[in-house]
Structure 1
Amino acid sequence: MPTWEAAYCEFFVARRRRLLGIAYAILGSWPAAEDATQTAFVKLYVHWPRIDPAAVDAYARRTVVTTSIRSAQKRAREPLTDAVRDAAAREVDVDVRVDLTRALADLSPRDRAVLALRFLEDLSVAEVAELLGVAEGTVKSQTNRALARLRAGETTATTERKSS
């Protein structure tokens, strides 16, 4: 066993769920998110000895995001599941969760990635821009556009619920 492998295993145990959540936010499917996260961790394992320990979180996040976006682009869009594994999410109104899931399905994988990084990972605009390799203005415009689409979907879903 290489000397660095213990550090990799500790990182895997500590960060797997968080990175899986990012992949799910981008892909909208637990099986697809698990595949993308597993692929990302294989890439991390291969490169682990050369990764700067101070930058390992950013490197892992970027690997999961790019792997998830590529995965979404390669396969046909799958419908999002309304089943949520997170116990805290079960407390949310089911109608609201399903509406949000449908609204996220209408966003591109890149828009979902920006929202996941900004709001799930709580990264700054500058950090997201660096991670995705785009300008800060691009992150801002993608965030605004994605949020506007979510709000538009929210308004439509609320109207539909009230009329039924």
Structure 2
Amino acid sequence: MDDTELAERLARDLDGTFEALVRAHVDRCHAIALRVLGNPHDAEEVAQDALVRAYRALEGWPPERIREVRLRPWLATIVVNQCRNRVRRHAPPTTPLAPLVEAGLEPPADPSGDPAGLAARAAGRDQLASLLAGLPERYRVPVVLRHVDDLSYAELAEVLGRPEGTLKAQVHRGLALLRAAAAGTGLEEMTA
């Protein structure tokens, strides 16, 4: 079921349909939190908290508003805000690289399955994770949402409350900082 149909069902029967919303979006909420926070335990808590907040918000909305909500960016907004709250309360995060595979920020797979090649690839992912974790939040969050979660710039603008042009510049700058940081580390191909 797509998000439009899900929103329609939520408007008619919130309690009976909310579980379907959770099933449809919990993995994505967790993935966003994991990429932003870098800690699986914190990401799990943030995803759960975000879904609870979503339920509480929907409880207070009239059916017309529920029907109009764009669930994917709305939930991403809640998750990102929950991540920001957690970062403010806790130590700086680290970001694992494994989820960045889909973003095209890693070298091509070694088709030979050579153990040395696989080890080098894993080491490269760890280095890139460190580089990503080192990005300032204003660049890291847009890069993760754009290139890992594959949100459009319009959805990014909705999630982060910034103009599309600003977000394009922040994503570009974030990727440029990653490339510059990768220079001389052997990760140039990963960030090219």
Task: Bin the TM-score by the shorter chain.
Answer: 0.7 to 0.9
* Unmatched segments (≥5 aa) in structure 1: 160-164
Contact 2:35/2:95 (<8 A) preserved: no
Quote the residue 1:8 is aligned against: 18
Quote the residue 1:146 is aligned against: 174
Query: Over aligned residues, Cα RMSD in angstroms?
Result: 2.8
Deviations 1:7-61 (A, max 9, x none): 1111111211111111111111111211211111110111123262442222111
Quote the residue 1:57 is aligned against: 72
- TM normalised by structure 1 equals 0.81
Quote the residue 2:146 is aligned against: 118
Deviations 1:74-129 (A, max 9, x none): 322144457x589x99x772012101110111012332221122112322222211
Residue identity (%): 29
Q: Does structure 1 residue 27 correspond to structure 2 residue 55?
A: no
Change (3 A) 1:85 1:79: closer
Rounded to whole Å, the distance in 1 between the matches of 2:155 and 2:54 is 20
* Unmatched segments (≥5 aa) in structure 2: 1-12, 110-117, 188-192
The match for 2:91 among 72, 76, 82 is 76
Q: Which has the greater radius of gyration?
A: 2
Change (3 A) 1:52 1:110: farther
